[in-house]
Amino acid sequence: MCADLASPRIAVVGAGMGGIGLAVRLLEAGFDRLTLYERGGGVGGTWWHNTYPGAEVDTPSAIYSYSFFPWNWSRTHCGQAELQNYLQEVANRFGVTPHIRFGTDVSRVVWDDALQCWELGSERGVLGHADFVVSAVGMLSDPKYPDWPGLEDFEGPAFHTARWEHDHDLSGKHVAVVGSGSSGVQIVPALAEVAGRVTMFQREPGWIVPKNSRDFTEAERRALDNKAAQRISRVLMLLRRERGLVAGKIFRPGTAENSGAERIARDYIASVFADRPDLLEAVTPTYSYMGKRPITADNFYPSLLRDNVSLVPRAVEKVTSNGLIDTEGVVHEVDVLVVSTGFQVKYLASLDVVGRDGVELHKFWAGEPRAFLGMMVPNYPNFFMMYGPNTNGGAIATNLELQARYIVAAIKHARRRRASSIEVKRTAYDVFDAWLMGRLRGTAFEYQNNYYKTDSGRITTQWPDGILLYGALTKALRSAVWETKSRAPRSAVTSVGVSR
């Protein structure tokens, strides 16, 4: 039955880092009528799908993990397989795994105001009903494929980095990697070790700073077994990262923090390419630091100096049966095409959300996504987002934990009030958005060529401050901004997918 106020049914769409962390908190709070819908075959979300060579985290493993479950990491920056195993262990250890329905893609959720619940659907039909729905599908989850003319005519293997095809033997092959973002920067050094030749196509360079990644020593691994010490180390690491984020200074060109970070990046370029002025010029951005997402990498720049690696500082214009033609008309014959063009920057790209009065959320947003603290939207009761609008940046794992606590608090608040629905007040939604847009003015995010903005120029992805302010707001802005309604449903329905 929907609107079970004492023991509500909760549906979480996605079993990545956000969904798993939320499920742990929900189960700890006693909300065990819980189902996670995961379209993949295992936990991890992006860390399940992205299995390309060289895939690893950009931030230290200690803070790209849950505060409540320290881990004995093998590296300062763990690889994809180790992180995915970690997430699986969390799901198993905290009893989340039995609540996951793998291979299940929720494509549409519809609020029924009469029944005071959500109907969940897929291409196969109705999956079930739930009192609360949380989207944990992430922001960058669905691959973005290029529309190059002739792409379908390419005769060799061609695939996206997020859907890596491991059955191809790349030994001795000439591999083209198109795109120089985080994935491309990780792939090129890895491929250079096995391929005969690697050619990267770079539309625009990004700012890159050293990651300083390495394997932990045996002594360090033993020290990691001290969980209390590891938690303290994690907090100190986060606080060090916060120094440049106070008042969002590192995001603002002209500040000491932003200029200092850019100087580090320029010095790194100069040190690697002292004898290659052609490459130095090609990899140096012309926009302010933080204008696009900075990349941390140790081996990408050195890999460009290898004899079997070349950089084409131009975009791809079209594809032929056996190669690529760049924007200057130069033909490059290749055997394998690796597309590293990123992801669709569309919130809820795989999920349609129909709220009160039958209005679909994408239509309500009209191309400009926004949400209170990135999580709640008025007229979409009992619906929350994790990693929603304007929550990108900083330590994402910590942000997700803050969001999980907020969502659990909201559901508890509704239960205490015996309310059938909870949502954010429209006034709070509008005031918060006006404040946030003001905070974003003057940041490097306003650079025209990044994924942060809509066509109108509105910055919809980035958070302009650190986790300390975001955490404070998630604790302070709770019951005063929530609106609850206590209304019994007109009739009952049997839940198909979320009964426990």
Going by C-alpha positions, the residue among 93, 98, 55 that lies closest to residue 71 is 93
Among 300, 302, 332, 301, smallest CA distance to 318 is for 332
Q: Are 13 and 500 in contact (CB under 8 A)?
A: no
pLDDT in tens, the chain (500 residues): 455 678 999 999 999 999 999 999 999 999 999 999 999 999 999 999 999 999 999 999 999 999 999 999 999 999 999 999 999 999 999 999 999 999 999 999 999 999 999 999 999 899 999 999 999 998 877 788 999 999 999 999 999 999 999 999 999 999 999 999 999 999 999 999 999 999 999 999 999 999 999 999 999 999 888 988 888 888 888 888 887 677 789 999 999 999 999 999 999 999 999 999 999 999 999 999 999 999 999 999 999 999 999 999 999 999 999 999 999 999 999 999 999 998 877 899 889 999 999 999 999 999 999 999 999 999 999 999 999 999 998 789 999 999 999 999 999 999 999 999 999 999 999 999 999 999 999 999 999 889 999 988 999 999 999 899 999 999 999 999 999 999 766 554 444 455 43
Do domains 10-142+345-485 and 151-207+254-289+291-339 share one topology? The answer is yes
Q: What token pair was written down for 197? A: 């030749």
Which CATH number is associated with domain 10-142+345-485?
A: 3.50.50.60
Ramachandran angles phi, psi of 354, nearest 5°? -105, 115
Per-residue tokens: 72 = 């004995």
Tell which residue, 41, 39, 32, has the closest CA to residue 8: 32
Strand segments (E) across 8-69:
10-13, 34-38
**Where do the domains of the chain lie?**
10-142+345-485, 151-207+254-289+291-339
Q: What are phi and psi of 102, to 5 degrees?
A: -75, 160
Domain 151-207+254-289+291-339 has CATH 3.50.50.60: yes
Q: What are residue 360's DSSP bridge partners? A: 354
The residues facing 143 across adjacent strands are 343
